[in-house]
Amino acid sequence: MNLRSIVLLSAIAIGSTQCKKGNGGGTEQPGNDTVSRFAPVETAPPNTNYPSAFEGQTRIYGIKTFTPLKVEVLTSSLSNPWGIEVLPDGRFLITQKAGTLAIVSATGTIENTIPVSPAVANAGQGGLLDVALDPNFSQNRMIYWSFSQPVSGGNLTAIAKGKLATDWNSIENASVIFQATPSYNGSLHFGGRMLFDNQGNLLLGTGERSDLVTRPQAQELNSHLGKILRIKTDGTPATGNPFLNTSGAMKAIYSYGHRNVQGLAMDRVNNVLWAAEFGPLGGDEVNIVEAGKNYGWPVITYGKEYSGATIGSGITQQNGMEQPRYYWDPVVSPSGMIFYTSSQIPEWQNNLLIGALSGTHIVRLRILNNKIAGEERLLQSEGQRFRDLAQDNMGNVYAVTDQGRLYKISKL
């Protein structure tokens, strides 16, 4: 049911065709691509005075969507949704944190909810997390879900898989195929975002479980914590993983030095993997992820402790550690994200769209030659914690929020 519909004509309604002067003012013309530059969207003071590594690494110039948009709330009745997939028939498969999968019609009717097995550890940031469709879902109906699993010693991030029954009422032959070890008795930083790559391998972002005692494991190759992992659909390490022949290393590791990865998106044309992760007080990051690379946490960061204390040595750069392509200070809390591929909304084509939790908006990052070239805040007036995003074949964008809403964004 369409509970509410609004029309966004922001850039047109204000009659803005001229760029603001000052920081970011002007018009960029890379090839045949022309974009108007506006003032940076972030106006609040930063938490740190760290200098960025290069121009445009943070507080890039603002951009605007001039295509009129239609924004609909399809339902407000979801219960703590976390992950969303568009099914081949136009319906949605949405995870709900307490441990159920919701089957939602294309118009927003919740048709069914299916409990997952085994049980999830629904506490703090844990619970039922993301969902991914098998690349051959139309033939095999296989789905994968990530969740915090209670185990000896506490809990951990796990992946299970099973077949969605043809009557949509159950999951058949569910089994856990992967556990991100070691376990820990905590309720924070499970990561949990999943994505299939161009080779049919399953990627999983994990967190370092937040606490000072586990934080160093983001730098350790004998732990799955604070990593991006790459596995086959049977849960074994993917062929070609960078540490398959490294003694003592976890073979599923693809990259390391991450804090808490909840955003993964693939530029499938250029085979480029993008990731977003939460920083502490400042220092949310967007990275291009490459096999075997070290992304620095907790040795380097553009943030500081929530207490205001310096993290480690208070450095932002170190040899052998990758710089983020972009970071935020103050944070926006970047969660699920997509690489928008449609021409329906032409300004968004080949851009990153990212759900922001504490930022309560959808981030639009324009990408040019694998660099960030402009930032926009979308749906900020909605006041929602945007948890995950999806795109259908028509170029419509869908977003779920912590408050239980499912949004549809399309060209008017």
The domains of the chain are located at 4-411
Residue 4 has a pLDDT of 58
Catalytic residues: 189
- Rounded to whole angstroms, the Cα distance separating 230 from 204 reads 6
Q: Which parts of the chain sit beneath pLDDT 70?
A: 1-33
Give the phi and the psi of residue 137 in degrees, each rounded to 5. -55, -40
Q: What distance in Å separates the CA atoms of residue 346 and residue 349, rounded to the nearest whole number?
A: 5
pTM: 0.94
- Per-residue b or e along 157-185, where b marks 16 or more CB atoms closer than 10 Å to that residue's CB: bbbbbbbbeeeeeebeeeeebbebbbbbe
* C-beta separation of 27 from 33 below 8 A: no
Give the rounded percent of residues in the chain with a pLDDT score beyond 70: 92
The single-letter DSSP state of residue 317 is: -
User: Are 262 and 192 a contacting pair, CB within 8 Å?
Assistant: yes
pLDDT value for 35: 87
Give the residue from 378, 380, 386, 372 showing the smallest Cα distance to 410.
378
Per-residue pLDDT, 394: 97
Q: Which of 66, 62, 69, 67 shows the shortest CA–CA distance to 27?
A: 62
Helix, strand, or coil (residue 330): coil
Q: What is the pLDDT of residue 6?
A: 62
**Residue 115, preceding peptide bond in cis (omega within 30° of 0):** no
Residue 355: φ, ψ to 5°: -75, 130
Distance CA 25, CA 189 (A): 38
Distance, in Å, from the CA atom of 409 to the CA atom of 412, rounded to the nearest integer, reads 9
**What is the model's pLDDT at position 121?**
97
The superfamily CATH assigns to domain 4-411 is TolB, C-terminal domain (2.120.10.30)
Q: What does the alpha-carbon distance between residue 304 and residue 401 come to, in Å, rounded to a whole number?
A: 27
